[in-house]
Structure 1
Amino acid sequence: MADNEGLTEAERAELEQLRAEKAAREAAKAQAAERAELEALRAEKADAAKATAAKQRAQAQAAQDAADLERARKLMEPDEDDLKMPVGQKVVILGVVVVAAVFLLLAIFR
Protein backbone atom coordinates (compact mmCIF):
# COMPACT_ATOMS: atom_id res chain seq x y z
CA MET A 1 0.00 0.00 0.00
CA ALA A 2 0.95 3.60 -0.30
CA ASP A 3 2.73 5.30 2.55
CA ASN A 4 0.30 7.51 4.51
CA GLU A 5 3.06 9.80 5.89
CA GLY A 6 2.66 12.45 3.21
CA LEU A 7 -1.14 12.88 3.58
CA THR A 8 -2.84 15.60 5.53
CA GLU A 9 -5.60 14.88 8.03
CA ALA A 10 -8.29 15.89 5.51
CA GLU A 11 -6.75 13.67 2.82
CA ARG A 12 -6.54 10.74 5.26
CA ALA A 13 -10.19 11.22 6.24
CA GLU A 14 -11.19 11.38 2.56
CA LEU A 15 -9.13 8.24 1.82
CA GLU A 16 -10.80 6.36 4.67
CA GLN A 17 -14.22 7.53 3.49
CA LEU A 18 -13.50 6.40 -0.06
CA ARG A 19 -12.24 3.05 1.21
CA ALA A 20 -15.44 2.64 3.26
CA GLU A 21 -17.59 3.51 0.21
CA LYS A 22 -15.63 1.02 -1.90
CA ALA A 23 -16.12 -1.69 0.74
CA ALA A 24 -19.85 -0.91 0.88
CA ARG A 25 -20.13 -1.16 -2.93
CA GLU A 26 -18.26 -4.46 -2.93
CA ALA A 27 -20.48 -5.81 -0.13
CA ALA A 28 -23.62 -4.75 -2.03
CA LYS A 29 -22.24 -6.36 -5.19
CA ALA A 30 -21.54 -9.60 -3.28
CA GLN A 31 -25.04 -9.57 -1.78
CA ALA A 32 -26.57 -9.04 -5.24
CA ALA A 33 -24.54 -11.96 -6.59
CA GLU A 34 -25.70 -14.15 -3.70
CA ARG A 35 -29.33 -13.17 -4.33
CA ALA A 36 -28.96 -13.99 -8.02
CA GLU A 37 -27.41 -17.36 -7.17
CA LEU A 38 -30.24 -18.06 -4.70
CA GLU A 39 -32.88 -17.25 -7.33
CA ALA A 40 -31.10 -19.42 -9.89
CA LEU A 41 -30.95 -22.33 -7.44
CA ARG A 42 -34.64 -21.89 -6.57
CA ALA A 43 -35.55 -21.89 -10.27
CA GLU A 44 -33.42 -24.99 -10.83
CA LYS A 45 -35.11 -26.74 -7.90
CA ALA A 46 -38.56 -25.79 -9.22
CA ASP A 47 -37.66 -27.07 -12.70
CA ALA A 48 -36.43 -30.35 -11.22
CA ALA A 49 -39.66 -30.71 -9.23
CA LYS A 50 -41.73 -30.04 -12.35
CA ALA A 51 -39.72 -32.57 -14.33
CA THR A 52 -40.15 -35.17 -11.59
CA ALA A 53 -43.89 -34.54 -11.43
CA ALA A 54 -44.19 -34.79 -15.21
CA LYS A 55 -42.23 -38.04 -15.19
CA GLN A 56 -44.49 -39.46 -12.47
CA ARG A 57 -47.60 -38.43 -14.42
CA ALA A 58 -46.19 -40.08 -17.54
CA GLN A 59 -45.46 -43.27 -15.62
CA ALA A 60 -48.95 -43.30 -14.12
CA GLN A 61 -50.47 -42.74 -17.57
CA ALA A 62 -48.36 -45.55 -19.02
CA ALA A 63 -49.50 -47.89 -16.24
CA GLN A 64 -53.13 -46.92 -16.85
CA ASP A 65 -52.73 -47.46 -20.59
CA ALA A 66 -51.17 -50.88 -19.97
CA ALA A 67 -54.05 -51.83 -17.66
CA ASP A 68 -56.61 -50.67 -20.24
CA LEU A 69 -54.84 -52.62 -22.97
CA GLU A 70 -54.73 -55.76 -20.83
CA ARG A 71 -58.45 -55.45 -20.00
CA ALA A 72 -59.29 -55.00 -23.69
CA ARG A 73 -57.10 -57.95 -24.63
CA LYS A 74 -58.84 -60.18 -22.08
CA LEU A 75 -62.20 -59.03 -23.38
CA MET A 76 -61.43 -59.87 -27.01
CA GLU A 77 -59.24 -62.98 -26.71
CA PRO A 78 -60.78 -66.43 -26.26
CA ASP A 79 -60.67 -68.13 -22.89
CA GLU A 80 -58.39 -71.06 -22.10
CA ASP A 81 -60.83 -73.44 -23.76
CA ASP A 82 -60.72 -72.78 -27.53
CA LEU A 83 -64.38 -73.76 -27.92
CA LYS A 84 -65.54 -70.73 -25.93
CA MET A 85 -65.91 -67.32 -27.53
CA PRO A 86 -64.55 -64.21 -25.88
CA VAL A 87 -67.05 -61.97 -24.12
CA GLY A 88 -66.58 -59.14 -26.63
CA GLN A 89 -67.42 -61.42 -29.52
CA LYS A 90 -70.53 -62.66 -27.72
CA VAL A 91 -71.70 -59.08 -27.18
CA VAL A 92 -71.19 -58.20 -30.85
CA ILE A 93 -73.06 -61.29 -32.06
CA LEU A 94 -75.90 -60.65 -29.61
CA GLY A 95 -76.16 -57.06 -30.86
CA VAL A 96 -76.31 -58.19 -34.49
CA VAL A 97 -79.00 -60.77 -33.65
CA VAL A 98 -81.10 -58.16 -31.83
CA VAL A 99 -80.85 -55.71 -34.74
CA ALA A 100 -81.76 -58.47 -37.22
CA ALA A 101 -84.74 -59.49 -35.08
CA VAL A 102 -85.97 -55.90 -34.93
CA PHE A 103 -85.74 -55.55 -38.72
CA LEU A 104 -87.49 -58.92 -39.17
CA LEU A 105 -90.33 -57.89 -36.84
CA LEU A 106 -90.68 -54.54 -38.60
CA ALA A 107 -90.82 -56.26 -41.99
CA ILE A 108 -93.47 -58.73 -40.82
CA PHE A 109 -95.79 -56.28 -39.06
CA ARG A 110 -95.79 -53.51 -41.63
Structure 2
Amino acid sequence: MSKISELTEGKWPKTSIIEALQAHGIKKSDTPIPSKPKYGYKVENGELVLCEKEQKIIKLILELHAQGNSLRKIARILNEKKIKGKYGGLWDKSVISTIIKRETKQEE
Protein backbone atom coordinates (compact mmCIF):
# COMPACT_ATOMS: atom_id res chain seq x y z
CA MET A 1 0.00 0.00 0.00
CA SER A 2 2.74 2.46 0.90
CA LYS A 3 4.43 1.72 -2.44
CA ILE A 4 1.22 2.64 -4.30
CA SER A 5 1.00 5.83 -2.29
CA GLU A 6 4.62 6.65 -3.21
CA LEU A 7 4.06 5.92 -6.90
CA THR A 8 1.03 8.19 -6.98
CA GLU A 9 3.03 10.87 -5.12
CA GLY A 10 0.68 10.70 -2.18
CA LYS A 11 -2.33 11.67 -4.26
CA TRP A 12 -4.00 8.48 -3.06
CA PRO A 13 -3.63 8.18 0.69
CA LYS A 14 -3.47 4.67 2.09
CA THR A 15 -6.97 4.86 3.56
CA SER A 16 -8.44 5.84 0.18
CA ILE A 17 -6.76 2.90 -1.51
CA ILE A 18 -8.06 0.49 1.13
CA GLU A 19 -11.57 1.96 0.85
CA ALA A 20 -11.48 1.67 -2.96
CA LEU A 21 -10.39 -1.95 -2.78
CA GLN A 22 -13.10 -2.77 -0.26
CA ALA A 23 -15.75 -0.97 -2.31
CA HIS A 24 -14.93 -3.17 -5.31
CA GLY A 25 -14.76 -6.36 -3.24
CA ILE A 26 -11.02 -6.80 -3.79
CA LYS A 27 -9.39 -8.58 -0.89
CA LYS A 28 -5.75 -8.98 -0.04
CA SER A 29 -4.74 -12.61 -0.35
CA ASP A 30 -3.76 -14.25 2.94
CA THR A 31 -1.30 -16.43 1.07
CA PRO A 32 0.40 -14.58 -1.78
CA ILE A 33 1.17 -16.51 -4.96
CA PRO A 34 4.92 -17.21 -5.03
CA SER A 35 6.84 -16.11 -8.10
CA LYS A 36 8.67 -19.45 -8.02
CA PRO A 37 6.24 -22.10 -6.79
CA LYS A 38 7.51 -25.20 -5.00
CA TYR A 39 8.07 -28.42 -6.91
CA GLY A 40 4.70 -30.04 -7.59
CA TYR A 41 2.87 -26.75 -8.08
CA LYS A 42 2.43 -24.16 -10.82
CA VAL A 43 0.74 -20.81 -11.24
CA GLU A 44 -2.21 -20.92 -13.61
CA ASN A 45 -4.51 -17.94 -14.17
CA GLY A 46 -3.12 -16.29 -11.05
CA GLU A 47 -3.87 -19.34 -8.90
CA LEU A 48 -1.47 -21.84 -7.34
CA VAL A 49 -2.47 -25.30 -8.61
CA LEU A 50 -1.04 -28.81 -8.59
CA CYS A 51 1.23 -29.73 -11.49
CA GLU A 52 0.25 -33.31 -12.37
CA LYS A 53 3.56 -34.11 -14.08
CA GLU A 54 5.56 -33.00 -11.05
CA GLN A 55 3.15 -34.73 -8.66
CA LYS A 56 3.98 -38.04 -10.41
CA ILE A 57 7.69 -37.39 -9.80
CA ILE A 58 6.97 -36.62 -6.13
CA LYS A 59 5.11 -39.93 -5.87
CA LEU A 60 8.14 -41.70 -7.40
CA ILE A 61 10.47 -39.95 -4.95
CA LEU A 62 8.33 -41.05 -2.00
CA GLU A 63 8.18 -44.64 -3.31
CA LEU A 64 11.96 -44.77 -3.76
CA HIS A 65 12.43 -43.38 -0.26
CA ALA A 66 9.99 -45.92 1.21
CA GLN A 67 12.04 -48.67 -0.45
CA GLY A 68 15.02 -47.57 1.63
CA ASN A 69 16.96 -45.64 -1.02
CA SER A 70 19.19 -42.86 0.24
CA LEU A 71 18.56 -39.25 -0.78
CA ARG A 72 21.70 -39.29 -2.91
CA LYS A 73 20.62 -42.51 -4.65
CA ILE A 74 17.15 -41.10 -5.38
CA ALA A 75 18.77 -38.03 -6.96
CA ARG A 76 21.05 -40.28 -9.02
CA ILE A 77 18.07 -42.38 -10.21
CA LEU A 78 16.14 -39.28 -11.31
CA ASN A 79 19.18 -37.87 -13.10
CA GLU A 80 19.88 -41.21 -14.84
CA LYS A 81 16.25 -41.31 -16.01
CA LYS A 82 16.83 -37.79 -17.42
CA ILE A 83 14.04 -36.37 -15.25
CA LYS A 84 14.78 -32.68 -14.92
CA GLY A 85 14.21 -30.55 -11.84
CA LYS A 86 11.65 -27.75 -11.77
CA TYR A 87 13.78 -25.36 -13.78
CA GLY A 88 15.59 -27.93 -15.92
CA GLY A 89 18.49 -28.64 -13.58
CA LEU A 90 19.87 -31.80 -12.06
CA TRP A 91 18.61 -33.30 -8.82
CA ASP A 92 20.61 -33.36 -5.61
CA LYS A 93 19.97 -34.77 -2.16
CA SER A 94 18.97 -31.42 -0.61
CA VAL A 95 16.05 -30.95 -3.02
CA ILE A 96 14.96 -34.57 -2.49
CA SER A 97 15.13 -34.05 1.27
CA THR A 98 13.03 -30.88 1.08
CA ILE A 99 10.35 -32.59 -1.01
CA ILE A 100 10.18 -35.63 1.30
CA LYS A 101 9.96 -33.45 4.43
CA ARG A 102 7.25 -31.26 2.92
CA GLU A 103 5.19 -34.19 1.65
CA THR A 104 5.40 -36.23 4.84
CA LYS A 105 4.50 -33.14 6.88
CA GLN A 106 1.38 -32.64 4.75
CA GLU A 107 0.30 -36.23 5.41
CA GLU A 108 0.28 -35.66 9.20
How would you bin the TM-score normalised by the shorter chain? Answer: under 0.3
**Higher RCO (CA < 8 A, seq sep 6+):** 2
How high is the TM-score relative to the length of structure 1? 0.24
| Larger relative helix fraction | 1
| Larger relative strand fraction | 2
